[in-house]
Structure 1
Amino acid sequence: MIDTGATEAFDVAERRMWAGRADAYAASFARLCAHPVEALLDAAGVSAGGYVLDVGTGTGTAALAAGQRGARVVAVDADAGMVAAARERGIDARPAVLPELPFPDGEFDAVAGNFVINHVGRPRAALAELRRVLRPGGRLALTLWGARRGAGQDLLGRACEAAGAVPPPHLPRLDPAEDFTRTPDGFGQLLSEAGFEATDVVELAWDHRAGVDEWWGGAAGGIATIGLVVTSQTPATRARIRREYERLSAGFSDGDGRLALPHVALLASGRA
């Protein structure tokens, strides 16, 4: 049975986690999340003349790329700061929170969501809503941080552990009844259960290159769950985390003063 209280608490925690952090995100983790965008748009069949919804647009990277392909694009995000940042880039961005979208049935030829499904408390209801706004035969493509992780994804977490950081009690925790297996099979099954056909899930792996301060800046700026962990610590513990981070990051040096951080994600697609 779904715990509505836990679901609401997850969504509230997610909204708080991102509020006021658009600039910090743009200066840190946004480049990481931009890596799969072209593959995401390919999987959604985005091309010139199509009408595309970019859901969970963040600062608008995927929407901008879809527009550069000649598509007509509308973008939505739950955070007002992200919507404002996307609008500054010339994107038709609007506030909206899954699983409720302000569009009629069958409105779009394609829907793309870059690392958004992991930030909603009701992923199945969200997928049903995304299917609703797609025309029959339209395509959905989503990226997700899955169960298999690259070593670079764990660098900041390892630094927190080595420094003795204690995770705060207010971290977003998805209701187990709403969760799903974060594997290619599990992600594909989630789409199939939502009524999508011809589903396909592939694993993407890449090395994200970032400066030492840039990568630290995302966590120090409170971005994502790792940011909540870091910023909830005492100043002394945060200083220890930074020292451990610098020590551990040496193992990811690319020899040119930057870090080569292995990452793994899932890319799923399906037809409405």
Structure 2
Amino acid sequence: MLDFDEAERTIWAGRAAAFRDSFAKLCAHTAPALLDAAGAGPGIRLLDVGTGIGTVAAAASARGARVTAVDAEPGMIELARQAAPEAGFRQAVLPELPFAAGSFDAVVANFVVNHVGRPAASVAAMRAATRPGGRVAATIWCSPAGAGHELLGRAVESAGVRQAADAPRLDPAEDFPRTEEGLAGLFTAAGLADVSCEPVTWDHVASPEEWWGGAAAGVGLIGQSVTRHGPETVGRIKAAYDALVPEYAGPDGRLVLRYHALLASGRA
């Protein structure tokens, strides 16, 4: 079995465009609050860790920040460059950040700490890259994450498909509670001061076709649970999905998916 980080790299490899066209829109919701927590503004040297398709990098650049961004997946960096042409980009994987200590006024990570094998070391690396007095902010999914993943999970189960037994699992010694206290504890253990953590809840609206498209392309663990099977099984999952969609749809037929996350910040 691949270790957690290797498995994550495999899951995301070659799926940047599929992510852009589906779940990236969900993740974009927290970008303004994340940048507010980091104090992003004109002239601020900001590092966006795990930039994905560059949503946060572009939003920070629009605020006048001097943005550097990193991601592990080359395809993500290619799309991020298009979204944020003013930013600088490098390929890197937490907790190995290729920057001198104190290089940035603020470091942010939008739904990245969920996807690393060493969460505590990753937050510590973010702090190390931040100048004394600078800000670190991150979002993670909490449990349950949201209705969209519930919908897809129910479709998989309704089709009689078992979740993959070999799905990547975090080493118990590295895991932490996906709660306000758990995420705040990571920040405090990393040496950050004035730590705060708050829940964020919102309704994500998407067409049934768009939401299914992310899963059908194998984006994320939920997508992997769909695409690891043959066409006949995928067809059964899709039929179950279509049958469940009305439970999650608004009056216009689009899905209205309630999501929950946590936003933590602290001072280096």
Q: Same fold (TM over 0.5)?
A: yes
Q: Hey, what does 1:82 align to over in structure 2?
A: 76
Instruction: Say yes or no: does 1:227 pair with 2:248.
Output: no
Q: Hey, what does 1:95 align to over in structure 2?
A: 91
- C-alpha distance in structure 2 between counterparts of 1:148 and 1:193, whole Å: 25
Correspondence list, 1:236-247, <5 A: 236-247=232-243
Deviation per residue, 1:193-246 (Å, 9 max, x gap): 111111111111111000001000111011000011100112221111111111
Q: Hey, what does 1:66 align to over in structure 2?
A: 60
Partner SS, residue 267 of structure 1: strand
Alignment equivalent of 1:33, drawn from 17, 20, 27: 27
Alignment equivalent of 2:11, drawn from 17, 40, 45: 17
Correspondence list, 1:146-161, <5 A: 146-161=142-157
Instruction: Say yes or no: does 1:50 pair with 2:40.
Output: no
Alignment equivalent of 1:143, drawn from 130, 139, 143: 139
- C-alpha distance in structure 2 between counterparts of 1:237 and 1:212, whole Å: 19
> Structure 2 length as normaliser, TM-score?
0.96
Q: CA deviation at 1:85?
A: 1.1
Q: CA deviation at 1:37?
A: 0.3
Opposite residue 65 of structure 2, the aligned amino acid is A
Structure 2 residues not aligned, in runs of 5+: none
Q: Hey, what does 1:117 align to over in structure 2?
A: 113
Alignment equivalent of 2:180, drawn from 157, 178, 184: 184
Q: Would the aligned equivalents of 1:148 and 1:183 in 2 still touch at CA under 8 Å?
A: no
CA RMSD, 1 decimal? 1.2
Instruction: Say yes or no: does 1:199 pair with 2:195.
Output: yes
Q: Hey, what does 2:206 align to over in structure 1?
A: 210
Q: Would the aligned equivalents of 1:153 and 1:261 in 2 still touch at CA under 8 Å?
A: no
Q: Hey, what does 2:258 align to over in structure 1?
A: 262
Opposite residue 212 of structure 2, the aligned amino acid is W
| Identity over aligned pairs, percent | 55
Partner SS, residue 175 of structure 2: coil
> Structure 1 length as normaliser, TM-score?
0.95
Structure 1 residues not aligned, in runs of 5+: 1-5
Q: CA deviation at 1:253?
A: 1.1
- C-alpha distance in structure 2 between counterparts of 1:69 and 1:208, whole Å: 24
Q: Would the aligned equivalents of 2:149 and 2:222 in 1 still touch at CA under 8 Å?
A: no
Opposite residue 76 of structure 1, the aligned amino acid is V
Aligned length: 266
Q: Would the aligned equivalents of 1:37 and 1:62 in 2 still touch at CA under 8 Å?
A: yes
Opposite residue 129 of structure 1, the aligned amino acid is A
Opposite residue 247 of structure 1, the aligned amino acid is A
